[in-house]
Amino acid sequence: MMRRLALACFGMVLATAARAQPLPDDFVYLRDLDPSIRQDIRYAGVNNFVGRKLAGYDANECIVKRSVGLALQKVQRELAPQNVSLKMLDCYRPARASREMVAWAQDGHETAAQKRYNPGFSKSELFRLGYIAEYSGHSTGAAVDVTLVDLHAPTGPSFDPNRAYADCTAPEALRAPENSVDMGTGYDCSDAKAHTSAKSITAGQRRWRKLLAGAMVRQGFVNFSKEWWHFSLPGGGRQAYDFPIAPRTR
């Protein structure tokens, strides 16, 4: 009995030590730089196009290169007088998660829930069309997926994995809840309507996109034209990392 207890305690010590290991190469937890920036890391749960937690996402935490985090902090400060906050949807992505996305796109199976994210074509086309790649800038720590939250707006309903929502191009009230401003499509929507400069959105949705893009660009970020939510900071390096996203220990 005592031997089993000792082994269990030793295992707990090892697990704690593993979580406490410092982040490599100037990576930081964004929460340590600016806790006011909201976080909803979608691949750490089931509310994403794959429908499950992805490998390496062991905590709902945004990890980025320090230069990226400091730039996001400046964006947040610019938005604060307008009662608007950034909300991070994805930050550093372990390379194993990108490989899992590629395998998912090529597995030949597609559910109705997954189809909500690419209503115009099959998921096998995502790789060819450039929506999924074996190499992701997210794995360098220099790319982020982000939206905006109106701090004066009431909190909406939570995501229900058992509900049959409309696809990501549908009106906001019908698609899966984002608890953020209405950008015209849901996050990770593989459709022309999600292109940053899409003409098929309302004037209000366009204003939100311009507000986000303008604030990000002023701090050096570059937007990916097919995704209103995706921004990268040049100069962050091209090395892809594969360490897991562990819980913060302080």
- Per the annotation, where are the binding residues? 138, 145, 230
The 10 Å Cβ neighbour count of residue 42 is: 22
- Check if the beta carbon of residue 187 is closer than 8 Å to that of residue 212: no
Number of C-beta neighbours around residue 52 at 10 A: 12
Three-class SS of residue 29? strand
Enclosing H/E stretch for 224: none
Token pair belonging to 60 = 């709902």
Residue 129, burial from CB neighbour count under 10 angstroms (0-12, 13-18, 19+): exposed
Q: How far apart are CA 225 and CA 36, in angstroms?
A: 27
Q: Give the catalytic positions in this structure.
A: 227
Residue with tokens 């921004």: 231
User: Annotated binding site for Zn(2+), which residues?
Assistant: 138, 145, 230
Residue owning tokens 């890391």: 41
**CA nearest to 91, candidates 43, 52, 127:** 43
Would you say 84 and 150 are in contact if contact means Cβ atoms under 8 Å apart? Answer: yes
Residue from 250, 219, 225 nearest 68 by CA: 219
Residues 134 and 223 sit within 8 Å (Cβ to Cβ): no
